Amino acid sequence: MAKRRFLWWTAGAVVVVAGVAVVAALLTGGGGGPKPGQVKDEPMLAGRDLKSFPAADEDYFADMDGGYKGVKLSADEVKGRNNWIVWTGGNDRLWDGLTNSSFGSFDLLKTISSYPGLKATRDNRWGYLGLVNEPCFSKPTAPDPEHFGLWLDVRDSKCAADPFANADKYKGVAIGGRGKTVDPKTGKTLPVGSFYGEPTGIVGLRLFPNPAFDEKAAKDWDAERYYNDPSYYNRKDLVRPYRVGMGCGFCHVGPDPTNSPADPNNPKWENLSSVVGAQFFWIDRIFSWDANQKNFIFQLVHTAKPGTLDTSLVSTDYINNPRTMNAVYQTKERVELGLRLGKEKLAGGGLDNKQFKDFPGYEAFDSTFKAPDTVWTPHVLKDGADSVGVLGALNRVYINIGLFSEEWLLHFNPLVGGKSVSPIRIEDGRKNSVYWQATEQQTPFVAQFFLNKSIGTPHKLKDTPAGQQFLSTDEAILARGKTVFAENCAACHSSKQPDFPANVDPRDSIGPDYIKRWNAYWGYVQTPAYKKAMTDIALRPDFLDGNYLSTEMRVPVTLLETNACSPLATNGIAGNIWDNFTSQSYKDLPSVGTIKVKDPFTGEPTDYAMPAGGRGYTRPANLASLWSTAPYLLNNSVGNDMGAYSPNPTVEYRVNAFEAGIRQMLWPETRKKDDILGNKGVGEIYRTDAISYLEVPAGYLPDGLAKLIGPLERFLPWLFGDGGVKIGPIPKGTPVNILSNLELRLDEANKIENLNQDTKLISLLLKIKADLKALGANASDADAIKVFANLKTPLLSLSKCADFEVNRGHYFGSDRVPSIGGVPAPQGLDNADKEALIAFLKTF
């Protein structure tokens, strides 16, 4: 019987997971509840207005971003940096709620704690979580009675007070239990606090009194049980005294590559940069606070390499797609590049995005928008979907981390899906959310901060204390490297370009004819005429000065051959969650054609037709500070297998990571192979690395389902146990994405089409039951594998992204570049040219 239970999950896990998700959605939601466009946020309900949310003006972070060596910011730029690091816009509501949606796996209040029994405390937070400890704090030695017994980092009395926690200047939102007595015996009151919250000891995370923490919740609260007793902390009705809000700095502040801290767990502000990105961030350990390998949720988020995050994790698109958190270098040059190549047409809700013209003092940017519907803009997201203007791109970031979650969460089921997605409308946010209004009012300050040329200046290896020893002094090699770059890389990775003939000029190449224009462009950049003109530019002494090392054009995945799950993301297509934040010209993009993907069970290649409507493209990354940003590719999958090296911010580590990553890029045959199919030439596939289960503790089950568990446990003991749901075991080596990428709801589909999808899911479940029943109780593992192989076709047919090989593609410089659009494939480089190119890339 044990073996049969094992086999059952081996083949059918995802269907059962889907069933649990659908049942949970039905029992907890139904058709009731508020409707989109009809809800207000907490400050609007509390009678607050926009004027009561002033932008913070204290230059508290003055030593950051080169400030310790003289970089100064204007008053508005200071406001922009403050917003980037400490403004959360009420998103503490979202992150508190996601503790329930993740069945307790995710809990930021535990992430910020230094309780002795946790796997991460302030002492090892950098090495274990990759999070940046805030200066002026120390590890607690006892629970804090002022914070209801939580083990929170303690502020150093020698440091000035955190200015953003000033509740008199930045008065918080008095709603629910905030400001009210929660313990009549002691008279203890839950403070209202500041609308910027309190510092937590982690950069980018802020602490807010939970308005739901009333007298009843206070009587029920037990901090010791919260840290130690699963029957207590795994309750969906548990009300914590605080919620944790997240600023953009949580994912974007990191150690300055040119001034790294001596001890990563104890940095000073001068050791930190607002633009480098959290490239050492372990989302698996953050999202799964106990990092239990036997929990399938951990196995899912464990697919994210350090420094990557699936930005559609909350507003799920049924594609597991962890992508790098890129550095925000050279924004000024990026905007200028957008003026040349970033023409986009807006329509529908996209026209509601704020532009620079809507704010006084930004006349220098008048040319970025022409009424009524044309914008010239950078392409911010990796798939080029953020295409409505700089301010719209910034505003979308804040929504994605929880701004106006009262509205946002009405458009999808967070994490699990199972509900048709609808667009969040800018007009509703502007009408019903004061936090939204305040965010729109302050994003011009954020833009000004990044437009300060000193802030986005690349961190050069030559400017580090130990940098010179890693750089070539051979001018002949460097000159050859520049030539190789010009001939093989610059067409995608240089904003400085020669003039183009009219028929291949990449400007105005938007909408339905994009592929035709791209193929003409790609053909021209292979010609001797282009290569000579580009080489002349690259050999100039000022080639790297002000060069945004990307074109930000949308490159078809048929040429890149990188993993297709990123360009298959659907959040930005017409009618989806980010509909209002993508241009009409993005939505009108044609299909790139057909790609090859490999079967995760046999390694055999099959054709996969890419859809149109915006999908199928990737913008080239900016190569600024390339030496410090390894591993590579859009998911940090190339160069991440460094053996004895542990990720850390030192120059030596960064250079070693660069060497490992760039050599695997140029010699793709050396990249990591799949553990099972590597002998067939298959690259890395995300697979479970331990036997795991999908566990839903009893406390997180919907009430209706919880009442049924007693009778069900008798008949389905493999599914129900200890009052909760435990699905598994999922065997070690299972392709994670065969489970995570199951499409529960179809995009751009009507009710009948989604009903047909449901029918297919049920049919698959019945087939699994019949096949496994026929095996018998004494079936061998080999027999089980045969059943699983028989079920492979329906499982893959229901997958939203059937591309499992994560470290493939971007073969430029090798002999594996494909021929597309009738353009012959370029020849690969010899080893000497590759070495010269590496020497030049190190100077970026």
* pLDDT on residue 380: 85
* pLDDT on residue 103: 81
Average pLDDT over residues 687-701: 74
Q: Quick check: 743 pLDDT over 80?
A: yes
pLDDT digits (tens, 9 = 90+) for 188-200: 999 999 999 999 9
Average pLDDT over residues 300-326: 92
* pLDDT on residue 699: 63
Q: Quick check: 553 pLDDT over 60?
A: yes
Whose tokens are 């009430």? That residue is 703
Average pLDDT over residues 712-733: 57
* pLDDT on residue 712: 47
Contact 307, 634 (CB under 8 A): no
Task: With H, G, I as helix, E, B as strand and everything else as coil, classify residue 183.
Answer: strand
Average pLDDT over residues 632-641: 93
pLDDT digits (tens, 9 = 90+) for 78-113: 999 999 999 999 999 999 999 888 888 899 999 999
What band does 19 get if pLDDT is binned at 50, 70 and 90?
very low
Q: Quick check: 705 pLDDT over 70?
A: no
* pLDDT on residue 763: 75
* pLDDT on residue 723: 53
pLDDT digits (tens, 9 = 90+) for 802-831: 999 999 999 999 999 999 989 999 999 999
Average pLDDT over residues 350-355: 97
Contact 155, 162 (CB under 8 A): yes
Q: How many CB atoms lie within 10 A of CB 420?
A: 17
Q: What is the mean pLDDT of the chain?
A: 89
Ramachandran angles phi, psi of 258, nearest 5°: -95, -5
Asked which of 12-21, 109-118, 362-371 is least confident by mean pLDDT, the reply is 12-21
Average pLDDT over residues 131-143: 97
CA distance 302 to 287: 9
pLDDT digits (tens, 9 = 90+) for 218-238: 999 999 999 999 999 999 899
Relative to beta strand 323-324, strand 308-309 is: antiparallel
Q: Quick check: 279 pLDDT over 90?
A: no
Task: With H, G, I as helix, E, B as strand and everything else as coil, classify residue 756.
Answer: helix
Show Cβ contacts of residue 102 under 8 Å, excluding neighbours closer than 6 positions.
287, 297, 415
What band does 702 get if pLDDT is binned at 50, 70 and 90?
low
Contact 368, 354 (CB under 8 A): no
What band does 772 get if pLDDT is binned at 50, 70 and 90?
low
* pLDDT on residue 420: 86
Q: Quick check: 706 pLDDT over 70?
A: no
Q: Kindly compute the dihedral angle of the four CA atoms of residues 812, 569, 576, 412, in this order, to the nearest 10 degrees.
A: -150
Q: Quick check: 23 pLDDT over 70?
A: no
In the DSSP assignment, the letter for residue 163 is G
Q: How many CB atoms lie within 10 A of CB 90?
A: 27
- Indicate the pTM of the whole model: 0.91
Average pLDDT over residues 564-569: 96
Q: Quick check: 456 pLDDT over 70?
A: yes
Average pLDDT over residues 592-618: 95
What band does 508 get if pLDDT is binned at 50, 70 and 90?
confident
Q: Give Cα 607 distance to the centre of its chain.
A: 28
101 or 498: which carries more pLDDT confidence? 498
